[in-house]
């Protein structure tokens, strides 16, 4: 943990809101990235960032100083994202939301947000987004944690409240779905990994 | 070595194949089919890697803080209110205790004599004082019940099959347990059986939650929901809470129709 984080946490625990402000300003961007990859939606990601820092503030006393604050924060963000995804599923189930329509809306939003980011062609970005949206909440979480966050499978299992083997198979399913959707778009050249 | 299956390829890509990593690597060097499969997998995952995340401005952290500060402030005010409520409760306990002591030590009028003292004012009669105390107790407990109701709603609305993150609720429950005990004892001393019973029913749920892990398993969520349902706890809390706030008492709701 960075010394400056440790100092800020100490001061924040003592009721110094300015110290907590520093932590929020320092970690908001990375937390947003995790939240966006989990939810696939900018507005949801913004909400998750807010909720993450709110939970962090309320549970700051339970943060262990030897741990990495950033990792701890990311874990809270993952849980907040999961809660949001589950609440959305419950809401759709309760109010008869059309998953197809939700998918289209999400894809359209993501597409609009990504137009000025030309690492991929706009069309391909839409396909990747749609492929990610095909994943269930658990599949998306497990994949994001393993692929982007580099989290060990055991910890992913703990985060999702499932056995290690189940976590592993959740990742397999996620990768298989991505492969099915995106294989037509890959170029055939050797992989260096 | 046999061809690598899809799962072994994924494990190898994420370096999760442990002792099999060397053998898998050697096989990939020797087998064109598996190599082609592995390359495709890597390229698919590279496409996901390249998917950009929308940029947030340099002042994003400040924006987050500006929204958040207001919510943290509300929590501070809630704490002030809780402290105020606790102080009011303690004052009430002392007042009720004093009244009880005075009542025990007031000599009864002699039998067969006509009372010569003027009648007590209706404002200060014991019945009215007791009614006032009931009202004060109800108002003070009302705020506590509002907080408890919100938490019970979150629990009953949760999808038990997926477990639940209760990091924030756990902390709230810890705060509510001590207040709940204080109010319950006061209600018992004051002879308000209805509030005392309600708070006694509420206490185990708050305690269980305050001692829970950050993440409840599906079984734990289901157990809590069952406990809440079996005592119609949410409905009872709503009724007393509504009475405390001078609101209309809500009609009983069938299971699964709670709304936030």
Query: Which of A147, A172, A192 lies closest to B45 in CB terms?
Result: A147
End-to-end CA distance of chain B: 58
B77-108 in b/e form (b: 16+ CB < 10 A) is eeeeebeebbeebeebbeebeeeeeeeeeeee
Rg of chain B in Å (alpha carbons): 31
DSSP code, position B15 = T
The yes-or-no verdict on residue A175 having pLDDT over 90 is yes
CB contact under 8 A, B68 and A32: no
B15 at the A interface (CB within 8 A)? Answer: no
Instruction: Read off the pLDDT of residues B57-95 as tens digits, 9 standing for 90 and up.
Output: 889 999 999 888 877 754 445 555 666 677 777 777 777
A193 at the B interface (CB within 8 A)? Answer: yes
The answer as to whether B57 is a domain residue is no
The answer as to whether A70 is a domain residue is yes
Range of the structural domain that residue A30 is part of: 1-97
The answer as to whether A149 is a domain residue is no
The answer as to whether A129 is a domain residue is no
Please tell me the distance from the alpha carbon of residue A111 to that of residue B84, in angstroms, as a whole number.
Answer: 51
**Residue A68 phi, psi (nearest 5):** -90, 125
CA distance A101 to chain B (A): 22
* CATH at residue A9: 1.10.1740.10
| Better-predicted residue by pLDDT, B178 or A154 | A154
The answer as to whether A146 is a domain residue is no
The answer as to whether A139 is a domain residue is no
The yes-or-no verdict on residue B173 having pLDDT over 90 is no
Q: What is the mean pLDDT of residues A129-153?
A: 90
Return residues 12-51 of A near B (CB < 8 Å).
17, 20-21, 24-29, 32-33, 36-37, 42, 49-50
pLDDT for res B246: 59
Query: Which of A36, A59, A183 lies closest to B44 in CB terms?
Result: A183
Indicate which of A23, A24, A53 best probes the interface with B, i.e. most B CBs within 10 Å of its own CB.
A24
- Pair B250, B130 in one domain: yes
Q: Which 3 state secondary structure label does DSSP give A192?
A: coil
pLDDT for res B120: 46
Instruction: Read off the pLDDT of residues B146-168 as tens digits, 9 standing for 90 and up.
Output: 888 888 887 888 777 878 888 77
A172 at the B interface (CB within 8 A)? Answer: yes
Residues of A in Cβ contact (< 8 Å) with B4: none
Range of the structural domain that residue B181 is part of: 125-254
The domain boundary residue, chosen from B32, B47, B62: B47
Average pLDDT, chain B: 76
CB contact under 8 A, A183 and B16: no
The answer as to whether A135 is a domain residue is no
- Residue B18 tokens read as 């442990």
Total tally of structural domains belonging to chain A = 1
Cα separations in angstroms, B109 against B40, B113, B115, B119, B129:
100, 8, 8, 13, 21
The answer as to whether B225 is a domain residue is yes
In this predicted complex, what is the ipTM?
0.74
Please tell me the distance from the alpha carbon of residue A146 to that of residue A164, in angstroms, as a whole number.
Answer: 13
Q: Is the pTM for the entire model greater than 0.80? A: no
The yes-or-no verdict on residue A5 having pLDDT over 80 is yes
Total tally of structural domains belonging to chain B = 2
The answer as to whether A93 is a domain residue is yes
The answer as to whether A50 is a domain residue is yes
The nearest alpha carbon in chain B to A121 belongs to B51
Residues of B in Cβ contact (< 8 Å) with A171: 10, 14
| Helical H segments across chain B, by residue range | 6-13, 21-30, 32-50, 60-105, 126-157, 167-189, 193-210, 218-230, 233-244
Q: Give the least confident one: A135-144, B2-11, B131-140, B157-166.
A: B131-140
In sequence order, what DSSP letters do the residues of A81-142 get, joined into one string? HHHHHHHHHHHHHHHT--HHHHHHHHHHHHHHHHTT-TTS-HHHHHHHHHHHHTS-HHHHHH
């Amino acid at each position: 943990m960075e010394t400056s984080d440790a100092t800020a946490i100490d001061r924040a625990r003592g009721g110094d809101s300015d110290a907590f402000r520093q932590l929020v300003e320092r970690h908001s961007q990375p937390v947003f990235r995790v939240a966006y990859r989990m939810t696939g939606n900018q507005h949801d990601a913004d909400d998750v960032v807010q909720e993450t820092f709110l939970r962090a503030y309320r549970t700051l006393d339970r943060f262990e100083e030897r741990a990495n604050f950033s990792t701890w924060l990311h874990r809270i963000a993952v849980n907040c994202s999961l809660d949001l995804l589950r609440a959305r599923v419950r809401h759709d189930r309760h109010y008869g939301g059309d998953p197809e329509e939700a998918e289209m809306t999400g894809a359209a939003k993501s597409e609009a947000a990504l137009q000025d980011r030309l690492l991929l062609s706009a069309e391909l970005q839409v396909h990747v987004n749609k492929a990610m949206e095909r994943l269930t909440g658990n599949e998306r979480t497990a994949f994001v944690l393993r692929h982007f966050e580099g989290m060990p499978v055991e910890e992913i299992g703990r985060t999702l409240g499932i056995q290690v083997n189940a976590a592993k198979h959740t990742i397999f399913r996620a990768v298989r779905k991505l492969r099915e959707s995106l294989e037509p778009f890959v170029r055939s050249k050797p992989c260096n990994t | 070595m046999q061809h690598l299956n899809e799962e072994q390829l994924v494990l190898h890509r994420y370096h999760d194949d442990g002792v099999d990593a060397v053998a898998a690597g050697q096989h990939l060097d020797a087998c064109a089919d598996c190599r082609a499969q592995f390359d495709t997998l890597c390229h698919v995952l590279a496409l996901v890697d390249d998917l950009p995340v929308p940029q947030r401005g340099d002042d994003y952290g400040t924006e987050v803080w500006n929204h958040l500060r207001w919510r943290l402030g509300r929590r501070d005010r809630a704490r002030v209110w809780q402290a105020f409520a606790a102080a009011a409760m303690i004052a009430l306990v002392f007042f009720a205790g004093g009244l009880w002591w005075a009542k025990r030590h007031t000599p009864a009028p002699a039998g067969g004599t006509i009372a010569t003292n003027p009648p007590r004012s209706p404002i200060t009669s014991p019945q009215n004082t007791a009614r006032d105390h009931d009202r004060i107790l109800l108002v003070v407990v009302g705020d506590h019940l509002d907080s408890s109701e919100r938490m019970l709603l979150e629990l009953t609305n949760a999808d038990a099959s997926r477990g639940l993150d209760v990091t924030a609720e756990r902390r709230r429950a810890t705060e509510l347990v001590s207040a709940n005990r204080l109010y319950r004892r006061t209600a018992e001393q004051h002879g308000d059986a209805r509030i005392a019973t309600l708070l006694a029913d509420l206490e185990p749920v708050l305690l269980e939650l305050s001692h829970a892990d950050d993440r409840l398993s599906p079984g734990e969520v289901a157990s809590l929901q069952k406990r809440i349902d079996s005592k119609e706890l949410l409905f009872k809390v709503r009724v007393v809470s509504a009475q405390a706030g001078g609101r209309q008492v809500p009609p009983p709701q069938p299971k699964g129709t709670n709304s936030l």
